[in-house]
Amino acid sequence: MLVKMNSIVLLNLKETFGHYVFHKQRSHFMPLSLLAMIRLIPQNYHIKIIDQQFHQHWEPDLVHELKKNPLCVGITCPSQLYLPQVIHISQFIKKYSTTKIVVGGTATSFVDPKYFLDYGVDFVVKGEGELTFYELIKSFEGKIPLSKIKGICYKTGSKIKINPQRPFINLEKLPLFDYSLLDLKAYHNAISFETSRGCNMKCSFCHNLIRPGWRGLSSDKTVKWIEEISEKYEASELKIVDDNFTSDIYRFKRILKGVIQKKVAIPWWSQVGDDLIKNCDKEMISLLEKSKCKRISYGLQTGSPRLRTNVDRYIPLKDVFKFNRKLKKTNIKIKYTPIMCLPGETEQDLKLTLKTIFKLKKENPNAEIWFLGLFLPLPGTKAYSEIVQRGYQPHSTVKDFSRRYKTYLPIFSKVSNIPEKRLKFIYLLSHFFWPTEEIKLKDFPMLLLKTYKPIAMYRLKKQFFDKNMLECYFLEKGIDLLLKKEKSKLNDLFTK
């Protein structure tokens, strides 16, 4: 006798804004947050993952799954910029089904749940989702009352119910992610992996400040899982998605030594923090190379010493330059991630950041900067409180969450006293830091943008931003043309 399996549908959203147009040909990240949600779900459930990065026709695929009457649809929301997409998809689902919609992800920790629950979402998961999602599934089956589930928000009538916060989960007790649920070839067998959560740094704008605390797997278990991934999934690359892989520098070294000892030859990359900068001696360089480190990413934030202190980044820039020069002698690429529009930033601060970028690139050909990221205000952080004091108006409608640089920059020009047009022009120019070899698209707008790169680099290096109105207009139009294709079926419902 065949037993009908309960089904769960999970949806990974596609980035459709900002710098996405410049790197959509790169290998995509696996939806690790969705794999995390189902880590504790028994195997007698049918799990269907729809990844918008590859499913160009995701609507009929989703409707097909909804006809099977799944227990729920789970959606991940990595930041507030994805909120309009979450709402768009939730309302799309409600046209075809009454199935429950569950939203988790980083954004749910700082976005008021009303912005989800008032627009079609049934449950918001705040914090880590493994145990919470498991209990929600049991609740949908009538086995656990909603009032007993920690870490969820939902509506009872017209009122929003916010259950008590769930304590941090013990990472050691979780099983390895089930990568068999994904088409690994679609990701070029580049496996995303997590060894820790949180960060030991205290950057004033970071989401980790909302609920601080760093936790990591033991070095032994980390090495064991990396070895298993290598053997079972034939990984071509390991993308370690920790916020800061080097928060515990001694654990980090033990992991590298273990990987080398086990002869696990998977090229890997991850984001690192100040601990690696301060402890990068000859032994560490040797461990990085022998363990097949391919690329590391480091949050530069700003080249202004004054602003670095303001955002609680106290490591001197001279230490960063020293570290950068050490990596020059290796084949390890380092990606620096600077930010513009930080609270209190002046034009001189921004120019110091650009000067720092060009110095890093000059001293180390392996140094990469992909673009100048925009500071995003996250409620609950020190930086958010600071810009509110400076006149920033918090979000009050869903439309506010659909802001891109076009509407953020006027706000930050008032906060930072940098003219809006100049901010916009510098932001657009910064996208040309992207390595030329990575830009492989052949459509006409991209060819024009690629041809413009030498001019953009000249302007950024010489800090010549005057007489830019015509250039700024065509840059914006070129990027908008590329984005138009990606947004054709995900138009913001709230911009009309």
As to burial, measured by CB atoms within 10 angstroms (0-12 exposed, 13-18 middle, 19+ buried), residue 227 is middle
Could you tell me whether strands 237-240 and 333-340 are parallel, antiparallel, or unpaired per DSSP bridges?
unpaired
The whole-angstrom separation of Cα 300 and Cα 353 is: 9
Contact call for residues 6 and 71 (beta carbons, < 8 A): yes
Question: What pLDDT was estimated at residue 207?
Answer: 87
Burial code (b: 16+ CB inside 10 Å, e: under 16) for 346-362 equals ebebbebbbebbbebbe
pLDDT at 156 over 80: yes
Residue with tokens 């920690």: 150
Q: How close are the terminal C-alpha atoms of the chain, in Å? A: 54
pLDDT for 27: 54
The reported pLDDT for the residue numbered 484 is: 56
pLDDT of residue 333: 96
393 pLDDT higher than 80:
no
pLDDT at 131: 97
Q: What is the pLDDT of residue 343?
A: 87
Q: Each residue of 124-140: pLDDT tens digit? A: 999 999 999 999 999 99
CB 76 within 8 A of CB 107: no
Q: Over 70: is that where the pLDDT of 210 sits? A: yes
| Matching residue, tokens 């955002």 | 311
- Segment holding 191, helix H or strand E: strand 190-193
**Is residue 17 predicted with pLDDT exceeding 60?**
no
pLDDT at 2: 36
For the chain, give percent helix, strand, coil, nearest 5.
45, 15, 40
Q: Checking DSSP bridges between strand 196-197 and strand 215-216, what pairing results, if any?
A: antiparallel
Tokens 């097949």, located at residue: 292
Domains by residue range for the chain, with CATH: 6-162 (3.40.50.280)
Question: How many residues does this entry show for the chain?
Answer: 496
250 CB burial (10 A radius; 0-12, 13-18, 19+): exposed
Angle between helices 249-261 and 282-290 (to 10 degrees): 50
pLDDT tens, position by position, 239-294: 999 999 999 999 999 999 999 999 998 999 999 999 999 999 999 999 999 999 99
Q: What is the pLDDT of residue 159?
A: 95
Question: What is the predicted pLDDT for the residue at 208?
Answer: 86
The residues that bridge with 298 in the sheet, in sequence order, are 272, 336
Looking at the chain, the whole-number percentage of residues with pLDDT higher than 70 is: 85
Q: In the structure encoding, which two tokens stand for residue 261, read together?
A: 């000892």
- Looking at the chain, the whole-number percentage of residues with pLDDT higher than 90 is 63
- Cα 455 to Cα 472: distance, rounded to the nearest angstrom: 12
The dihedral of CA 358, 359, 365, 370: what is its sign? negative
Please determine, for residue 487, whether its predicted confidence score (pLDDT) is greater than 50: no
State the pLDDT at residue 491.
38
For residue 365 the two structure tokens come to: 């050909």
Residue 70: pLDDT band (50, 70, 90) is very high
Please say whether the beta carbons of 93 and 119 come within 8 A.
no
What's the rounded mean pLDDT across residues 370-392? 85
Say how far apart CA 113 and CA 121 lie, in whole Å: 9
pLDDT band of 437, cuts 50, 70, 90: low
SS3 192: strand
Q: What are φ and ψ of residue 254, in 5° steps? A: -65, -40
pLDDT for 399 equals 66
Structure token pair of residue 8: 């769960």
Separation CA 334–CA 435 (nearest Å): 13
Mean pLDDT computed over 406-426 = 70
CA distance linking residue 77 with residue 86, whole number of Å: 7
Rg of the chain (C-alpha set): 23
For residues 161-172, average pLDDT: 95
CA atoms of 112 and 398, how far apart (whole Å): 11
CA angle at 183 for the pair 10 and 222, rounded to the nearest 5°: 85
* Mean pLDDT within 332-342: 94
Mean pLDDT of the chain: 87
What would the pLDDT profile of 219-241 be if each residue is shown by its tens digit? 999 999 999 999 999 899 999 99
Instruction: Note the pLDDT of residue 410.
Output: 59
Q: How confident is the model at residue 37 (pLDDT cuts 50, 70, 90)?
A: very high
| pLDDT tens for each residue of 168-197 | 999 999 999 999 999 999 998 999 999 999
pLDDT band at residue 443 under the 50/70/90 scheme: low
| Structure confidence at residue 317 as a pLDDT band (50, 70, 90) | very high
pLDDT at 23 over 80: no
Q: What is the pLDDT of residue 494?
A: 32
- Does the pLDDT at position 472 exceed 90? no
